[in-house]
Amino acid sequence: MTSPDHPLPPDPLGLIVRLIHRDASVLILNKPAGLPVHKGPGGGENLSDHLSALRFGLPRDPELAHRLDKDTAGCLVLGRHRRALERLGKLFKANQVDKTYWAVVEGGPAIDEGEIDLAMSPRDPKRGWWMKVDPKGQPALTRYRVLGQAGGRTWLALEPVTGRTHQLRLHCQASGFPILGDTIYGTAPRHGGPGLHLMARAISLPYDPKRPPIRAEAPPPDHMRVALAACGWTGGDPS
């Protein structure tokens, strides 16, 4: 219940309706594509500046437990208090969080299921997010599975075993099937392209050892739906 003395905080980005999980410790948000999670060097709209809308009565804003690229939509985990953030940080650092991404790629792998094991490092130390394959870099492992194909494109489920910056985007490009709409590692133009066809589809968090994992699933963003449907997606989750 709110009153004129205790109004709800503003929610100009409509974050409340994008929540797909909420409990006393953890929030999982369906992040929209095109929204950075942090303020960049040039400023501009970003998620972190609007997290007060998700306090739900607590004295502090929730905080990000991990990050998604600006153009990647889907499941984003937030901790509601310091103890939750510490627990989530340990889970992500230990690679105990199961994450499944969906992507539509140009071309596709030669086999329907496998692993991409390519170490990575920054291409330019001044631009740490811009990555390259580097045998001397940090180990990076991605599991993939083909979910559908059509018209020279493939719908993939991607599971990043490690969590390197731009891992899925670089691994797909380096394997010969760049993600549709990727302006950095793919063939998309810098402006006016189809949008990055990559989303964080599902996540599983073993937050409390005495309870089942927290599981959440995000619907595909609008800009991915046509390509997914062409590859066989019918609105549900494939077996």
Active site residues: 69
Structural element, H or E, at residue 168: helix 167-174
Q: CA-CA distance, 160 to 36, in Å (whole number)?
A: 21
Contacts of 125 (CB under 8 A, 6+ apart): none
Residues 15, 5 contacting (CB under 8 angstroms): no
Pairing, β 73-79 against β 198-205: parallel
Q: CA-CA distance, 183 to 189, in Å (whole number)?
A: 6
Q: Which long-range contacts (CB under 8 A, 24 or more apart) does 174-177 make?
A: 174/116, 174/118, 174/133, 175/109, 175/116, 175/118, 176/107, 177/105, 177/106, 177/107, 177/108, 177/109
- Please identify which residue in the block is written with the tokens 């489920």: 157
